[in-house]
Amino acid sequence: MLLPPTNWLSQAPLEHLHLDWLTTAGIEVALLRLDQIDPLISGNKWFKLVEHLKAAERVGAEGIISLGGAHSNHLHALAAAGKRLGFKTVGLLRGHAQETPTVLDLQAFGMQLHWLGYGGYRARNEPDFWAPWQAQYPQLYAVPEGGGGLAGALGCAVIKEQAQAQLPSLGWTDYHGWWLACGTGTTLAGLVLTEGGAHPVYGALAVPDDHGVAPQVESIMQSAGLATADYELIDASRGGFAKVDPGLLAFIEQTEQASGVPLEPLYTGKALLALKQQVEAGRFAPGTRLIFIHTGGLQGRRGFIPTST
């Protein structure tokens, strides 16, 4: 059995985000704290995994093989789930062998690691990429990078359900849109599908254009048979994936002190800074209410933010 009992993780709290720049603009933001659903399997990662696990169980697989980098939140959540639920996990990693806090955790959780180099990792979208790995691990089910694809997106429908159920606690009857960081675009695609055009979804791109987020989102839309979709991708990469600069780190430190909400610099920190820039540019009218998804990934901050901050 790869799947746990229903509702085995905590529900994500939905809470007001109080920051001066939001108050000045007259914008209300509710923060969906997916970082609080579990100490290890946190953020949006489990939601993207659950439909893949169902598919793996249907074909009788004994575990999961997937891809990621040396700071991968996806692999971290997958390995932790595998250890807790008792299924095998294999990780195919970008680059060459290195020790990061994430990699050490993957090993402690029992994930078998293979380093692909950079050229080998770039080939992950080639038609024949998975063949040798499936030959080596025939008992495992292959999951795309980040838990992507239509299956990953469909698992994210629960995120909307959790948020909407808590709107009355904020005194809200409705909202005007979603804002979240995008690494593969899977969570954004899942929200777009479940919204069906009712509310727009704004994706703050934490990766450059060459990571192919837009084509991946469009591919998911096509797979789901959705002809039109209300979403927008906004560059928040600050020059590249995992690019961290003093301005971003200063913003994160100031925001954590003001709000008490922990952030990380690769996704949620970049997404919130991009929202601030859009708000200060007058993008949203006073009275706008947005749901901002905290996509977790706090384990990854260990490689970028000193523990003293």
**Could you tell me where the beta strands, DSSP code E, fall in the chain?**
14-16, 28-33, 63-68, 88-93, 112-115, 140-142, 177-182, 201-205, 231-235, 289-294
Its pTM stands at 0.94
Q: What is the pLDDT of residue 308?
A: 43
pLDDT band, very low/low/confident/very high, at 5 (cuts 50, 70, 90): confident
List, for residues 22-63, the tens digit of each pLDDT value.
999 999 999 999 999 999 999 999 999 999 999 999 999 999
- DSSP code for 227: -
Q: Count other C-beta atoms under 10 Å from residue 224's C-beta.
A: 16
**pLDDT reading at 309 higher than 50:** no
Model confidence at 206: pLDDT above 80: yes
> How many Cβ atoms are within 10 Å of 259's Cβ, its own excluded?
16
What's the rounded mean pLDDT across residues 167-172?
A: 98
- pLDDT for residue 241 is more than 90: no
In the chain the domains, ranked by start, together with CATH numbers, are 14-39+149-303 (3.40.50.1100), 44-147 (3.40.50.1100)
Average pLDDT over residues 201-228: 91
Query: What pLDDT, on the 0 to 100 scale, is given for residue 40?
Result: 92
The two tokens of residue 44 are 């949006």
- Residue 58 and residue 27 in contact, taking contact as beta carbons nearer than 8 Å: no
Across the range 80-90, mean pLDDT stands at 96
Provide, rounded to the nearest whole percent, the portion of the chain with pLDDT above 90: 88
For CA atoms 158, 286, 255, 211, the dihedral sign is positive
Catalytic residues: 72
What are the Cα distances from residue 263, in Å, to 5, 62, 153, 273? 30, 35, 24, 11
Phi and psi torsions of 101, nearest 5°: -55, -35
